[in-house]
Amino acid sequence: MVINGFLRYMALLFLGVAFHLETHAQGVTADEVLLGTTRPMSGPMASITNEFFVGAGTYMEHVNAQGGVHDRKIRLLSLDDGYDPARAVANVKRLIEKDKVFALFGVTGTPTNMAIMPLLAEGEVPSIAPMSASESLRKPIKTCFENHYQGG
């Protein structure tokens, strides 16, 4: 069933987030993990993402009701890009530099995802569950950034 697969995926996602919380990362406080997204909330592509974000929001509410991730509530900050890569870039700059998100979640579309990749690499900000069918987003990219908490 699609819903069970989605719930398993989300559970693994949040376990992964939990693993990284101990690094005192940007967007993580004693009581909150801040995720951000840029997506078409207006324009012709808006209806495609609405169901995904209703489902994701419902699951985040469920996780928060169970105590969150390591006792931290998950909050998702959403910005509208109208499926315009230039607006997506501006939104991601704001999310990383001003809002200080821990990670991006559910960024929609190949053009927007490709446009924001340099910002993510530069800011060492992970992108979780990008929505695109493009092979270019599945090619190997740098996903393990330098960590300063390992010995050796």
pTM: 0.77
pLDDT at residue 64 greater than cutoff 60: yes
pLDDT at residue 14 greater than cutoff 70: no
**Percent residues over pLDDT 90 in the chain:** 59
Q: Which domains does the chain possess? A: 2-135 (3.40.50.2300)
pLDDT digits (tens, 9 = 90+) for 112-130: 999 999 999 999 999 998 9
User: What is the model's pLDDT at position 138?
Assistant: 67
Average pLDDT over residues 9-14: 60
pLDDT at residue 83 greater than cutoff 90: yes
Closest C-alpha to 123, from 95, 87, 149, 148? 95
Banded model confidence at residue 59, pLDDT cuts 50, 70, 90: very high
The full 3-state SS of the chain, as one line of letters, equals CHHHHHHHHHHHHHHHHHHHHHHCCCCECCCEEEEEEEECCCCCCHHHHHHHHHHHHHHHHHHHHCCCECCEEEEEEEEECCCCHHHHHHHHHHHHHHCCCCEEECCECHHHHHHHHHHHHHHCCCEECCECCCHHHCCCCCCCCCCCCCCC
User: What is the model's pLDDT at position 9?
Assistant: 60
User: What is the model's pLDDT at position 25?
Assistant: 80
CA distance 83 to 45: 7
Average pLDDT over residues 44-72: 92
